[in-house]
Structure 1
Amino acid sequence: MKSMINNLAKCLICLSVVGLANQAHSQTVNKKKPNIVFFLVDDLGYSDVQAFGSSFYETPNIDKLAKEGMKFTDAYAACPVCSPTRASIMTGKYPAGMHTTDWFGAPQPEEEAKKKNYTRLLLPAHYIENLPLKEETIAEALKAGGYKTFIAGKWHLGGTPDFWPENQGFDVNKGGNSMGNPGKGGYFSPYNHNPRLDAGPAGEYLPERLAKETMKFIEDNKDQPFFAYFAFYNVHGPDDTTPALKAKYTAKREKLGLTDQFGDEGGKKVRIVQSDPTYAGMVQSVDDAVGKVMAKLKELKLDDNTIVVFFSDNGGLAINEGSPTSNLPLRGGKGWMYEGGIREPLIVRYPGVIKPNTINETPVISNDFYPTFLQMVGLPPLPKQNTGGVSILPLLEQKTIKKRSLFWHYPHYGNQGGSPASAVRDGDWKLIHWYEHDRYELFNLRDDVGEHNNLLTAEPKIAKKLKKELDKWLQQQDAYFPSKNPNAK
């Protein structure tokens, strides 16, 4: 009898162990890694959404993201133009270290030197025009970790198909190629024969189409972890929107009594009022697309297990090339080293980790996304990836990160009027080194976010400290510099 009882007890213990093991296995299987949806807007300025100060453009879906997540007031692109920032997002590295410092397709110094009418003081630095295939992109790292990867929209990180998204870790590519903008008429089907986007029905608007492609990808991959990189061509020129949206904002402009107003920035005309109806329509189209993708996530009950990021690749176009928007209270815009060229609207939403409707003032930069994503999804950091960023997960959890400085290096002339420069931000202080005439400016961003008061002579010790810090970083990055133009007048 005693033997029977002992055997029965052993059987019950075995069954319990097996049951617990099966339960643990089931929980492991059912606990899917979080998805990632990354909204990257092209040329969107810091003040171009309502959550960051716009009173003319309407962005209710983006504002909803801010209320449900964390808004960063001091978030930066790694460069004041597009390709370098996009390269920093893909690799976690500073563009200076990869020598990908200008938009891909910009003239090289030897090309400028051949032009008889090129009389600027400096020749721009040489730069690499493709995202090197040796770099392990965030898409490749996530794919290796079991993620399905997708891009819709702008790539602009390589001039030939060898360097396009499908060769840089993306399983599905809808619209990504060498183009920096859709071209004339390209915001509507047939999209100027985009080699990675089939024509749609007549009248189809590009952001609407890219939203549909993103929603389809999410639907097709709802049962596995995915990374969806929705890289808008909006709001980059050529400015174009639907007739209905243009009519809406033309009427709103008239009702508010708005007029186009401009100031001066280094002899260039800079817009100081948001009042362009076409641009406003382009911004709303971004917001509409964000809303549709978020609705799909909610419909599929994926919204609580999806990390959502909203960001821009450089400042708004406020100077030259039509100057359709204003970045006030920030100075300058795309192509400039002032805050209007590099400070961006950043929102991160992730229920259960991020407390809703929170604001973070810690300076962060586009290089940070790579290590942040790896940590958030439970993948180990890449030991050989010498990143220029850090994981900002502690910030999302309302903790702190180690104090650090942020750096920029743009040794080129921007189409928007900016000239070659480097910069460093250390706490509230920002130092800019303009290479023409070897000139410096020092600003306290806490007191002077508009960068109106150059404190270089008033604070020589701080200027000296930041100059030393910037020079050391540039040396560590093996940065390329502009050179003297022998034909300069």
Structure 2
Amino acid sequence: MKSNYIFITLIIFILSSCKNQEKENFKNEEIRSPNVLFILADDFGLKDMSFVGSSYYETPNIDRLASRSMVFNQGYAGSRVCSPSRATIMTGKFTARHGITNWIGEKSGEDWRSMKRHDKLLPAEYVHSLPKKDITIAEALQNNGYTTFFAGKWHLGDEGSYPEDHGFEYNIGGWDKGSPMGGYFSPFGNPKLKDKVNGENLSIRLSKETNDFISTYRDSTFFAFLSFYAVHGPIETTQEKWNKYREKAVSQNIADQGFKMEKKLPIRITQDNPVYAGLVETMDEAIGMVLDKLDELGLDDNTIIIFTSDNGGVSSADSFSTSNLPFRGGKGYHWEGGIKEPFMIYVPGHTNKGKKSEYPVTGADFYPTILDYANIELMPNQHKDGISLKGLINENSNMPERSLFWHYPHYGNQGGDPSSVIRKGNWKLIHYYEENTNELYNLIEDPFEKQNLATSKPELAESLSKELMNWLIKVDARFPEIDKNFNADNRAMYDNKIRKELLINLEKERLELLDLNYEPSQDWWGSKITKD
């Protein structure tokens, strides 16, 4: 009898141990840190996607990701231009706090006079590389067991401040340049990206490199940052895609007018550029390649996917590529077209697939959100301006009202003026440094910023302006200064030349791009060359 009792007790113990082990395994599986794929487009506007309403561009893979993600309709970049916005993603800080307030390499102070634009102010100085004192999101994840990978555009400092100097174990194509120096077809002219096949497409190549990394480290926990050079100028595509979108533009009836004058520069008001459309489609195809690889490897159920852009679409200067209408402005501008972005987060298993959120969010929020999902303790002393969106995504939790800040004490190449911005609740105030004036908009009632309420609501404008300035002073922001050499007559001559010559030339070039005989080069930027 005693031996039977011992035997039964032993069986019960074994079964109980197995059950407890199963619970422990389930628990470990439940808290397993997810992989993270961060996809960052360059100069890609909110209205450049078909699911948002573009009838010209085709983005089926971005649309597919959006259908699985929470889409933030009030999603903002950290800045109106690239380097500051990218630094905000990496640090979780607004631009005035981390100090990179302009694209790295642009002139400032008295050197600005060499641009011969005859502006009233001398732009502020700014930080020229990602500060070493900051712990980047890559470093935070690497310190917690993630394998980290970067592919594509960096533009956050010269040698010594490359991706591998800020937490990325692998770097393919990231260096100090902000545009594809060799264009979008190999040879790329990039010391961090080895040429393989002449004519290879840059966006496709970056996705292939990302897929190779994912395949290699599929059994580890990884952070892959795919940072496209697309759709930054110079805009290029294949003859086949140009032909497709030229025919599409014709079928949609080519508008008589493609540009109008903004305050200082012409701005594009139509989406009918077939070269840009082809560039957009190729980037979308490259995104589809990575999404398909995750599905193929069975990693989609444990990989968070983020997609956003670093600033608004280029509607003025550069390649005058796209229109952000009905949003006002574009890259380089302080209005919504310059800072409102594609902003979507896919979290495996969440119940809010395809749901739209109207809560205002910013590039600074990615850092704490990623940490939160990775089960890593938040670092509020680092990501000082970002908050975790996990509760909102998973549970539709109520989020606190907060103030968002933008600081750009520079002149944009696209026509924007030195200004700072605060958004609080439904209200957005823009402060201009040239004339020390404000604009005030109710973004719920007037999302396209047509009615300036600064005069009719002076108390609110004053309150927001005061909060903005107090915050800027608190974080030691730098400000532009009056140029004592400013000459109003020289400026008037400069403006007159732009109105008389540039606007006319842009309309001419627009029609040339749509002409049947258009051919930029014999091999369409090398895209027809497939071997040495």
Regarding TM over 0.5, the answer is: yes
Runs ≥4 in structure 1, deviation > 4 angstroms?
28-31
Q: Tell me if 1:419 matches 2:387.
A: no
Q: Secondary structure at the match of 2:46?
A: coil
Q: Tell me if 1:186 matches 2:183.
A: yes
Q: Is the 8 A contact 1:317 1:325 kept in 2?
A: yes
- 312-321 or 380-389: bigger deviation: 380-389
Q: Which amino acid aligns with 2:206?
A: L
Change (3 A) 1:436 1:220: same
Measured in 2, the distance between the counterparts of 1:53 and 1:159 equals 38
Aligned equivalent of 2:318? 321
Q: Secondary structure at the match of 1:466?
A: helix
Aligned equivalent of 2:123? 124
Q: Is the 8 A contact 2:43 2:311 kept in 1?
A: yes
How far residue 255 of structure 1 moved from its aligned partner, in angstroms, is: 1.6
- 314-323 or 96-105: bigger deviation: 314-323
CA deviation string 1:55-114 (max 9, x = no partner): 10000111111112221111001110000010000010111011110001111314225x
In the superposition, the TM-score normalised over structure 2's length comes to 0.88
The answer for unaligned runs of 5 or more in structure 1 is none
Aligned equivalent of 2:230? 234
Aligned equivalent of 2:165? 167
CA deviation string 1:409-465 (max 9, x = no partner): 000011111110001011111100010011111111112111111111111121122
Q: Which amino acid aligns with 1:209?
A: R
Paired residues for 1:222-371 under 5 Å? 222-259=218-255, 261-371=258-368
Aligned residue pair count = 484
Q: Which amino acid aligns with 1:269?
A: P
CA deviation string 1:328-357 (max 9, x = no partner): 011011111111110001122123124222
Q: Is the 8 A contact 2:84 2:95 kept in 1?
A: yes
Sequence identity percentage: 46
How far residue 116 of structure 1 moved from its aligned partner, in angstroms, is: 9.0
Q: Tell me if 1:23 matches 2:28.
A: no
Q: Is the 8 A contact 1:62 1:290 kept in 2?
A: yes
How far residue 265 of structure 1 moved from its aligned partner, in angstroms, is: 1.1
Aligned equivalent of 1:476? 474
Q: Is the 8 A contact 1:119 1:485 kept in 2?
A: no
Measured in 1, the distance between the counterparts of 2:117 and 2:267 equals 24
Q: Tell me if 1:143 matches 2:142.
A: yes
Aligned equivalent of 1:69? 69
Measured in 2, the distance between the counterparts of 1:234 and 1:484 equals 36
Q: Is the 8 A contact 2:174 2:192 kept in 1?
A: yes
Aligned equivalent of 1:446? 444
Q: Is the 8 A contact 1:70 1:354 kept in 2?
A: no
Q: Is the 8 A contact 2:264 2:415 kept in 1?
A: no
How far residue 321 of structure 1 moved from its aligned partner, in angstroms, is: 2.2
Aligned equivalent of 2:156? 157
Q: Secondary structure at the match of 1:436?
A: coil
Q: Which amino acid aligns with 1:149?
A: T
1:218 to 205, 214, 217: 214
Q: Is the 8 A contact 2:149 2:169 kept in 1?
A: yes
Q: Which amino acid aligns with 1:61?
A: N
Measured in 1, the distance between the counterparts of 2:111 and 2:9 equals 82
Q: Which amino acid aligns with 1:130?
A: S
Q: Is the 8 A contact 2:36 2:224 kept in 1?
A: yes
Q: Is the 8 A contact 2:367 2:383 kept in 1?
A: no
Measured in 1, the distance between the counterparts of 2:24 and 2:108 equals 57
Measured in 1, the distance between the counterparts of 2:340 and 2:61 equals 21
Measured in 2, the distance between the counterparts of 1:233 and 1:118 equals 28
How far residue 10 of structure 1 moved from its aligned partner, in angstroms, is: 4.5
Q: Which amino acid aligns with 2:402?
A: R
Q: Which amino acid aligns with 1:107?
A: K
Q: Is the 8 A contact 1:205 1:242 kept in 2?
A: no
Aligned equivalent of 1:98? 98
Q: Is the 8 A contact 2:121 2:482 kept in 1?
A: yes
Q: Which amino acid aligns with 1:151?
A: F
Q: Which amino acid aligns with 1:134?
A: K
Q: Is the 8 A contact 2:91 2:383 kept in 1?
A: no
Measured in 2, the distance between the counterparts of 1:456 and 1:470 equals 15
Measured in 2, the distance between the counterparts of 1:180 and 1:206 equals 14
- 222-231 or 352-361: bigger deviation: 352-361
Q: Tell me if 1:48 matches 2:48.
A: yes
In the superposition, the TM-score normalised over structure 1's length comes to 0.95
Q: Secondary structure at the match of 2:292?
A: helix
Q: Secondary structure at the match of 2:341?
A: strand
Q: Secondary structure at the match of 2:305?
A: strand
How far residue 280 of structure 1 moved from its aligned partner, in angstroms, is: 0.4
Q: Secondary structure at the match of 1:163?
A: coil
CA deviation string 1:230-289 (max 9, x = no partner): 100000001111222111111111121124511221042111110100110111111101
Change (3 A) 1:354 1:134: farther
Q: Is the 8 A contact 1:118 1:488 kept in 2?
A: no
Change (3 A) 1:475 1:197: same
The answer for unaligned runs of 5 or more in structure 2 is 488-532
Q: Which amino acid aligns with 1:288?
A: E
Q: Tell me if 1:374 matches 2:371.
A: yes
